[in-house]
A and B are shown apart, each in its own frame.
Chain A
């Protein structure tokens, strides 16, 4: 490990103003959806956002990214959390959900400060059993808006029997489309669904590819930047603007690699993680930069809003959209739904999740010096098998630490403890604070 202060060229992303515009536009569109004649849909952001597209213009208020953005601002998050708690949602429940529900109970929308944007309906995906389905049932009950949710065998350790599970999910999605037609009174246009799906697959593949480009030393992107781009990769992935942006971003990242432009000029220790960060404590990344630490990625956003392919030899490579996989072309609603279901089931975030294997693969791919896993008390799903992941990484020769906190509830993040844990880990890696420049 180097002990002198390495210096790389650095500069902000050229496409950053565009990214900012897309993010702000999206959150504004949510607030003005009704005036703009657009349908406002709310639900789990891990759901397939292309599905409401057949209804025409719509905007999607994704619960988790909203909860994350709110978490970043304790002055809004704490009252929201308290409002949710006052309604009986306890402090150990999904933190994103409490930020979202609290905003709804307070009738305050974080991004404009105006009233909470009441959706036309909720359309969810149930896979975590600790949130999703019950979360939007709470919205449906409080706001009196229609609610549909489909169920999916997402996760790990399923004993095969794939085909019948795919059929079960597809059958619910067909019902979901008919249901959306009924509650909106609109005719569903399958062409629009197909177009949105193409964007969805393409954005996911591009975002996955971009995340993997961070294997370069120095890393062209850091986690902070990637998190700021997340609303595009996650919430607009069904839109053409997201595909266009990802193409531009990919080219720029490749240029940065060619020119040796780093995200963190002081990079001398590369860390990665499994989960989203404690959103209220993003300044920890800045602080750790003073040690020369660059967080090069997080597994969850690489495979949640992105798509990559984990190969049997333990490597990870970019994924390609269905048309480049030789899958049958989408011409009808049936084709579209079957392609989507196949995509979901073959997705690393889908049917047969292997967190341990994935973490080892990305750790090696990203050339990390260590993994800082986050025991996130705000999300039961994400901690499944965390200790086994730690063992798997150690077995693969990757140093690893686990730090604790809550991604969405700043009251449950002991910043000193987090830094103590990570700094002690760095000390073990031979990394100390850089001298002031």
Chain B
């Protein structure tokens, strides 16, 4: 099967994929609520880490658990648990990121039957010299807890293998992103997003095979569409592939991104160290920071701008989930830094479902403005 179709299939049938994997391997499946969950440790324990995402359907059953002031993503994710769609999970892990999604974790723990739950203290003060040694210990405890759950120890070899598989995955996705710098990117933004989300749902070794196949095919892939305006998507949690697809039907292509289902998830690799936990911890400390971890110095802005420049971005869609205060802090400085660099931005606020009619009008006007600027 065409790798892109395979990604699409896994994303569409994510629960079936996980259940089949479980049956096929006899392994356990662990859900994660944040990209700071160190998946490679779960993988090393012989388990399948899957990212828990929403379904973008309206539902009100979360009202009894999470107040309406919390972000739509965290409510949509909890709804999936309450609906029993993740009933195959053997465990749920969260790494401290923001108050909103912690609500999802706590409510899932309290109201969705699940045997194993684990809340990792991911430091927010990643710029402190104490965060790496601390996280190293935190990850070592996590490894031991997983070993207990698995009923077998997690060896150095297991960790090395997981690190290798994960680093390969990151490297291959980086290579594909690199191809998107071309004047005519061989892959659309929607396809790239599908690829990254599939990576968050699949056994990485299988995903790597598909990536290798895709890398071989992409140079000869005939792109039967105009690239149009080169866009970048920047913001908080984003797995609304349909939105990306609809925008790309309007004479535009997302050529790069900076959000939780894109570069922020896979951008950096683990640099080997004798202490494997320290090596993994360093990767999570040094990865492109998400806003609540970007202090006292702001480092995110320069990372985002550099990507935009390297990918020759003509316009940026800045988005956030409604009520997402961590990202709300970053929207004005992002607007400013792009304005200072003559890159126009359009800001959109997302709910569980997308008001496409309204968005379409604004996006079309934005694209027209970009065209005009280019002329």
User: What is the interface of chain A, defined by CB distance below 8 A to chain B?
Assistant: 87-90, 92-94, 126, 128-131, 133-134, 137-138, 140-141, 147-151, 153, 155-159, 161, 164-165, 167-168, 171-172, 175, 375, 377, 380-381, 383-388
**Given A133-B292, A150-B125, A171-B130, also A383-B328 (CB < 8 A):** no
B99 touches A381 (CB 8 A): yes
A87 touches B332 (CB 8 A): yes
B128 touches A155 (CB 8 A): no
Instruction: Tell yes or no: B220 within 8 A of A by CB.
Output: no
Chain A nearest Cβ from B331, distance in angstroms:
6
A129 touches B124 (CB 8 A): yes
B74-105 Cβ-contact flags toward A at 8 Å (1 or 0)? 00000000000000000000001111101101
Q: How far is the CA of A88 from the CA of B335 in the complex (A)?
A: 10
Instruction: Tell yes or no: B137 within 8 A of A by CB.
Output: yes
Q: Which of B60-68, B191-199, B202-210 contacts A (4 or more CB under 8 A)?
A: B60-68
B325 touches A131 (CB 8 A): yes
CB nearest to A122 among chain B residues: B296
Instruction: Tell yes or no: B69 within 8 A of A by CB.
Output: yes
Given A87-B332, A157-B105, A384-B102, 11 additional A-B pairs, CB 8 A: A88-B331, A129-B292, A130-B326, A134-B291, A134-B292, A134-B295, A151-B124, A375-B69, A380-B325, A384-B106, A387-B65
Q: Which of B65, B118, B138, B332 contacts A164 (CB 8 A)?
A: B138
A140 touches B296 (CB 8 A): yes
**Given A129-B98, A151-B124, A375-B67, also A157-B119 (CB < 8 A):** yes
Q: How far is the CA of A128 from the CA of B96 in the complex (A)?
A: 11
Q: Which A residues touch B326, using CB under 8 A?
A: 129-130, 134
Question: Nearest 9 CB-CB pairs, A to B?
Answer: A88-B332, A151-B125, A168-B134, A171-B130, A134-B329, A130-B325, A129-B292, A129-B98, A153-B121
Chain B nearest Cβ from A421, distance in angstroms:
15
Q: Which B residues touch A129, using CB under 8 A?
A: 96-99, 124, 292, 326
B325 touches A149 (CB 8 A): no
Q: Which of B119, B124, B331 contacts A158 (CB 8 A)?
A: B119
10 examples of A-B residue contacts, CB within 8 angstroms: A126-B295, A141-B298, A151-B128, A157-B102, A157-B106, A165-B121, A165-B134, A168-B131, A375-B69, A380-B69
Q: Which of A126, A156, A384 contacts B125 (CB 8 A)?
A: A126
Give chain B interface residues in 205-248, CB to chain A under 8 Å.
none
Q: How far is the CA of A155 from the CA of B120 in the complex (A)?
A: 13
A159 touches B102 (CB 8 A): no
Chain B interface category by residue count: 35 or more
Q: Which B residues touch A93, using CB under 8 A?
A: 325, 328-329
A380 touches B70 (CB 8 A): yes
A168 touches B65 (CB 8 A): no
Q: How far is the CA of A161 from the CA of B142 in the complex (A)?
A: 10
Q: Which of B70, B107, B295 contacts A149 (CB 8 A)?
A: B295
Chain A nearest Cβ from B174, distance in angstroms:
29
B143-178 Cβ-contact flags toward A at 8 Å (1 or 0)? 001000000000000000000000000000000000
Q: Which A residues touch B292, using CB under 8 A?
A: 129, 133-134
B295 touches A159 (CB 8 A): no
Q: How far is the CA of A29 from the CA of B244 in the complex (A)?
A: 54
CB nearest to A379 among chain B residues: B69
Q: Which B residues touch A384, using CB under 8 A?
A: 99, 102-103, 106
Q: Which B residues touch A148, using CB under 8 A?
A: 296
Q: Which B residues touch A128, using CB under 8 A?
A: 99
Chain B nearest Cβ from A47, distance in angstroms:
14
CB nearest to A126 among chain B residues: B124
Chain B nearest Cβ from A107, distance in angstroms:
19
Chain A nearest Cβ from B127, distance in angstroms:
10
Chain B nearest Cβ from A122, distance in angstroms:
9
Q: How far is the CA of A161 from the CA of B136 in the complex (A)?
A: 13
Q: How far is the CA of A164 from the CA of B144 in the complex (A)?
A: 15
B128 touches A172 (CB 8 A): yes
Chain A nearest Cβ from B172, distance in angstroms:
32
Instruction: Tell yes or no: B323 within 8 A of A by CB.
Output: yes
Chain B nearest Cβ from A416, distance in angstroms:
20
A387 touches B97 (CB 8 A): no
Instruction: Tell yes or no: B272 within 8 A of A by CB.
Output: no
Q: Which A residues touch B3, using CB under 8 A?
A: none
Q: Which A residues touch B298, using CB under 8 A?
A: 137, 141
Q: How far is the CA of A144 from the CA of B152 in the complex (A)?
A: 53
Q: How far is the CA of A147 from the CA of B298 in the complex (A)?
A: 12
Chain B nearest Cβ from A163, distance in angstroms:
9
Q: How far is the CA of A156 from the CA of B296 in the complex (A)?
A: 25
Max chain A CB contacts within 10 Å: which of B134, B138, B328, B329?
A: B329
Q: How far is the CA of A341 from the CA of B315 in the complex (A)?
A: 48
Instruction: Tell yes or no: B358 within 8 A of A by CB.
Output: no
B121 touches A158 (CB 8 A): yes
Q: How far is the CA of A172 from the CA of B127 in the complex (A)?
A: 11
Instruction: Tell yes or no: B342 within 8 A of A by CB.
Output: no
B130 touches A172 (CB 8 A): yes
A172 touches B99 (CB 8 A): no
Instruction: Tell yes or no: B23 within 8 A of A by CB.
Output: no
Chain B nearest Cβ from A295, distance in angstroms:
22
**Given A87-B332, A88-B332, also A385-B103 (CB < 8 A):** yes
Q: Which A residues touch B323, using CB under 8 A?
A: 92, 380
Q: Which B residues touch A164, using CB under 8 A?
A: 134, 137-138, 141
B98 touches A377 (CB 8 A): no
Give chain B interface residues in 302-331, CB to chain A under 8 Å.
322-323, 325-326, 328-329, 331
**Given A157-B106, A158-B121, also A92-B69 (CB < 8 A):** yes
Max chain B CB contacts within 10 Å: which of A134, A137, A141?
A: A134
A133 touches B124 (CB 8 A): yes
Q: Which A residues touch B99, using CB under 8 A?
A: 128-130, 380-381, 384
Instruction: Tell yes or no: B361 within 8 A of A by CB.
Output: no
Q: How far is the CA of A148 from the CA of B97 in the complex (A)?
A: 20
Instruction: Tell yes or no: B56 within 8 A of A by CB.
Output: no
Q: Which B residues touch A167, using CB under 8 A?
A: 134
Q: How far is the CA of A126 from the CA of B121 in the complex (A)?
A: 13
CB nearest to A375 among chain B residues: B67
Q: Which of A94, A137, A156 contacts B295 (CB 8 A)?
A: A137
Q: Which A residues touch B103, using CB under 8 A?
A: 384-385
Q: Which B residues touch A157, using CB under 8 A?
A: 102, 105-106, 109, 119
Instruction: Tell yes or no: B341 within 8 A of A by CB.
Output: no
Q: How far is the CA of A158 from the CA of B130 in the complex (A)?
A: 19
Q: How far is the CA of A165 from the CA of B329 in the complex (A)?
A: 27
Q: Which B residues touch A141, using CB under 8 A?
A: 298
